[in-house]
Amino acid sequence: MINNRYHMKSKYLIILVISIIWGKMPDKLLAPIHPVTDNYHGVEIIDPYRYMENLDLPEVQDWIKLQAEYSSAELNKLKHKEAFLTRLLELDMGKEYRVYNIKRMKDESLFYLKIKSNENLPKLYYRSHLTAIEKLIIDPEEMSEGKTQHYSLEFYQPSPNGRFVVYGIAEGGSEQTIIHVYDMINNQDTGDVIDRIETAYNIPQWWNEQGFFYCRRQKLDENEPVTEIYKNTMTLYHELGELIENDKPIFGRSLSSNVEMLDVDFPSIRVWENSNYIIGKIKHGDSSELTLYTTLKDQIFENQVNWKMVCDVPDSVVSFTQFGEDIYLFSAYKAPRYKVVRTKMDQPDFTNAEVIFPPAELVYRYASRTKDRLYFSALDGGYNRLIEYDPITGNLHRLDLPENESAYIISSNTNHTDIFLRSASWIHAGRMQVYDHGESTFEVLNLEPPGKFDNPEGLTSERVMITSHDGVQVPLSIIYQKNLQHTGKNPTILSGYGSYGSAQSVYYRASRMAWLEKGGIIAIAHVRGGGEYGKEWHLMGQKSNKPNTWKDFISCAEYLIDKGYTSEQYLAGQGGSAGGILIGRAITERPDLFQCAIINVGCMDMLRMETTTNGVPNIKEFGSVKTREGFDALLAMSSFHHVVDGVDYPAVLSTHGINDPRVEPWFSAKMTARLQTATSGNRPILFRVDYDAGHGIGSTKMQRYEKQADIWAFLLWQFGQ
C-alpha cells in the first residue's frame, strides 16, 4: 500500500535522486541523471532516467552496451558457470529428441514440431501416419545460416486436407511475424508472404484448401507513436496466389453495424470444419473476458455480415468450444471458479444458457473436442484433471490418471474419437499416451523416446498452504532432494508470477536437476493475481489489489525461512515479465529477506507502462494513470518508484532481450540504473542483455541454457559458493 502520508496533502514529491553515490559499482557504469517531472492528479513524480526510454539515443545505446559488456565479463568469471552449462547440455542430451505441438489430420497424417538434442531450434515435420517415416518441412536453423540474427518458427497451421501449411517466421526473438505458405506437393513455398501479423491471441484459420483468415496490424507512418501499433487490427481473408492488397476485410472495427469494437480490441475468426457456424472473437487487450459473435458460414463474405452476439464482457467468458450447433462457454459470472454453460449458435442466449458444469471446487479452464466427446481441463488442488463428457447423453467421468500428476491434451481432432495426452509431475517426466474412450484404454504414444533423466531417483515435491499477510491461504510448491536437511543453508530459488489469471502449472524439466544436484531448492509461489483458484484469485491480485501478489510472495519466502529450508543469506527471488512487479516490489518492500533477485524482462516502471506498444492492451490488467484510482494502484506496484537511496539491496541480475516487443528493454535499464545509484551495499546490480533475443519467445535452446547457467552461477556466487 502507499504510505498514508502521501494522501495527507493534495500534492507531494517523490524524490528519486540524491547526489551521494552509495553503491560500489564502477563509476563508469552509473548512468547520467536527467530528471523529468510529471504531475499526476496533483502528485509530482521525478524521473531521473526518462531519457532511457528513447532507445535510439546514442547515449542510451552506449550505456546499455557498457552494462551488457560489464555483466558478461563478470558472469563469465564465475566458477560455476561452465559446470552448469555443461550439465544442462548433458541433461538435454539425455533425450534424443522432443516432440510437441502435434496436429493430427483427418487422414491420420501428422504434423509436429521436433527438436533434436544436437539442434538449437525446433523444426516442423510431417508423417503420413503414426509409424511412417517423417519428412522435414520447415527448418528455421537452415533459414538462419549466414544471418546476424536467428529465425524462429512462431506458429504453423495445416489446411483442412493438409495440402498447404501456413506458418509464421520471426527474426531475433522479435515476434515481428511474417506469414509464408508451404505447398506439400511441390515441396516449396507458394510465394504468399504477409507481414504485420498479429499472433499473440490467434493464429490463421483455413477456410478451405484455397484460402485462410488471418489478423493483421495497421500500417503506420514512421512518425506515428508506438502506442498505435496494436490498434485497429483487422481479420482478413487471403486467397492463395492473390495480391495481398486485395485481401478482403472480414471482422474488425466499423465493418458491421451490429458489432461494437474499440481501436484497442483484437478481432479474430474461429472456424470449425464440421460446423455450419463461424465465431467472431474480440479480445479486449490483455483482459481475459471475451466478446463473442456467431454467424453462418455462408454469410461470412457478405458486405454486411449478420453477426449475433453470444456473450459480452459482463458475462465474464474466458474460453469456448463447439459441438454440433452448440457453443460451450467458460464463464466466471456468478461463478468464482468458473462454470460451463452452452447455448445454440443460431439463437445464442447467454442469460438462459444451459448449465453443464455448475460452480464447484474445480477450476474449469478450457475444453478440447473429438468426433463424439468433449474433454474438459480443470484444476484440482493445483493438478490439471481431464473430464470426459458426452454431449449427447450428458454422461461424464474423470480420466483415470495418477493423482500426483497433471494431465494435458496435446492433440485432438473432430474427425477422430481418441486423444493424445501427456501427464507429468514436478519430479518426473510425463508419458505421451493415446486414450480411446470406446475401450477406456491408454496406450503409449511412440512419438518421442524415453529420456535418461525422465524419472530421476531421490527427488520429492510437496504442496503446502501458507498464511499470507491478511490470513488468506496461498499454495506453495517445493521441489528438492529427499535427503535434504533443514539447516537453513540450502540455496533456494523462489519464483512467482501472479498476473492475467495465469496459473503456474505442474510440469517437469530435466534441466532443474542441475540446480537440485547442488543441494538446491526450487519453490513456486502460487500467488494471487494468478488463476490457481479461478477468477476470484485473479481479481484478488489485480489493479488496486495488486499488493496481495508480492505480499503473498513475501509470506512464502518467510515460510521457507521459518521452516529451515533456507535463510535470508541463501534465498533468491525470481520473476519475469508481469512477474517483474512481484519480485521488484518484494525486494523494495523487504530487501532484508533476499540475498539475490533475478528479474527477467520485468515490468518495473508501471507509471510509464501505457506509453509503450504493449502498454495500451495492458490497461485492462493493471489500470491507467489517467484516473486517480488507477494512478494510485500503478504507483503502488511500480518497483522503480519504491527504490530508496541508502538501502542495502539484494544482488540483482536483470535480463532482457533487446528486441523485446512486449516489455521494452528500457524497463530493465531504468531499474538497473536506479538500483546501482541507490544501494548502500556491496552486492552487484547487473544488467544482462541479449542482442539476438526478445521477450524469450523464439529464443534458441543455447540462448536459454546460457542464460540459465548465468543465473544459477550468479546465485551461487552470492550465496558464497
445 to each of 256, 374, 403, 425, how far by Cα in Å? 46, 21, 21, 18
Contact 365, 378 (CB under 8 A): yes
Positive or negative torsion for Cα 128, 414, 306, 267: negative
Strands 521-525 and 135-138: unpaired
CA distances in angstroms from 639 to 202, 510, 533, 666, listed in the order given: 32, 33, 26, 14
Residue 82's closest CA among 598, 713, 721, 509? 713
* Helix (H) / strand (E) containing 156: strand 151-158
Q: How much is the pLDDT for 440?
A: 87
Phi/psi at 11 (5° precision): -145, 130
The one-letter code for the residue type at 25 is M
Q: How do residues 224-236 score in pLDDT, each as one tens digit?
A: 999 999 999 999 9
Give me the pLDDT at residue 665, please: 98
CA distance 241 to 582: 48
Amino acid found at 467: T
Q: Which of 634, 674, 648 is nearest to 590 (CA)?
A: 648
**pLDDT tens by residue, 92-141:** 999 999 999 999 999 999 999 999 999 999 999 999 999 999 999 999 99
The dihedral formed by the CA atoms of 661, 573, 649 and 12, expressed in degrees to the nearest 10 = 60
- Report the pLDDT averaged over residues 417-424: 96
Counting every residue written for the chain, the total comes to: 721
Report how far residue 311's alpha carbon sits from residue 333's, in angstroms, rounded to the nearest whole number: 11
Q: In the CATH scheme, what architecture does the domain 97-251 have?
A: 7 Propeller (2.130)
Q: What is the mean pLDDT of residues 377-395?
A: 96
Q: CA-to-CA distance for 613 and 636, rounded, in angstroms?
A: 22
Q: Look at residue 325 and tell me whether its pLDDT is greater than 60.
A: yes
Number of Cβ atoms within 10 Å of the Cβ of 617:
22
Instruction: Look at residue 598 in the predicted model and tell me its pLDDT.
Output: 98
Q: Using a CB cutoff of 8 Å and minimum separation of 24, what contacts does 391-400 make?
A: 391/323, 391/324, 391/326, 399/375, 399/435, 400/440
- Find the helix packing angle between 701-718 and 58-76, rounded to 10°: 70
24 confidence band (pLDDT: 50, 70, 90): low
Amino acid at 351: T
For the record, the C-alpha cell of 121 comes out as 531450434
The string of pLDDT tens digits covering residues 159-215 is 999 999 999 999 999 999 999 999 999 999 999 999 999 887 789 999 999 999 999
Q: What is the mean pLDDT of residues 336-352?
A: 97
Q: For the chain, give me the number of helices (H) and strands (E)?
A: 11, 40
pLDDT in tens, 501-557: 999 999 999 999 999 999 999 999 999 999 999 999 999 999 999 999 999 999 999
Residue 511: name the closest of 520, 502, 503 by CA.
Answer: 520
Question: Which of 537, 521, 520 has its CA nearest to residue 529?
Answer: 537
Give the residue among 201, 203, 181, 208 at the shortest CA–CA distance from 192.
Answer: 181
Mean pLDDT of the 473-484 span: 98
Pair 649, 675: CB distance under 8 Å: yes
Cell (9 digits) for 351 = 442469460
d(C-alpha 16, C-alpha 49), whole Å: 10
| Fold agreement between 47-89+454-718 and 97-251 | no
Q: What is the mean pLDDT of the chain?
A: 94
In the chain, what are the domain boundaries? Answer: 47-89+454-718, 97-251
CA neighbor of 198 nearest in space, from 152, 265, 149: 265
- Point out which residues pair with 308 in neighbouring strands: 294
Q: Report the DSSP beta bridge partners of residue 563.
A: none
Distance of CA 663 to the CA centre of its chain: 12
Strands of the sheet containing 265-271, edge to edge, are 265-271, 277-284, 290-296, 308-311
pTM of the model: 0.95
**pLDDT of 389 over the 50 cut:** yes
Report whether pLDDT(399) > 50.
yes
CA 86 to chain CA mean position, Å: 28
Give the integer Cα–Cα distance in Å for 571 and 594: 5
At residue 507, the 3 state secondary structure works out as coil
CATH topology for the 47-89+454-718 domain: Rossmann fold (3.40.50)
Residue 241 sits at φ, ψ, to 5 deg, of 90, -10
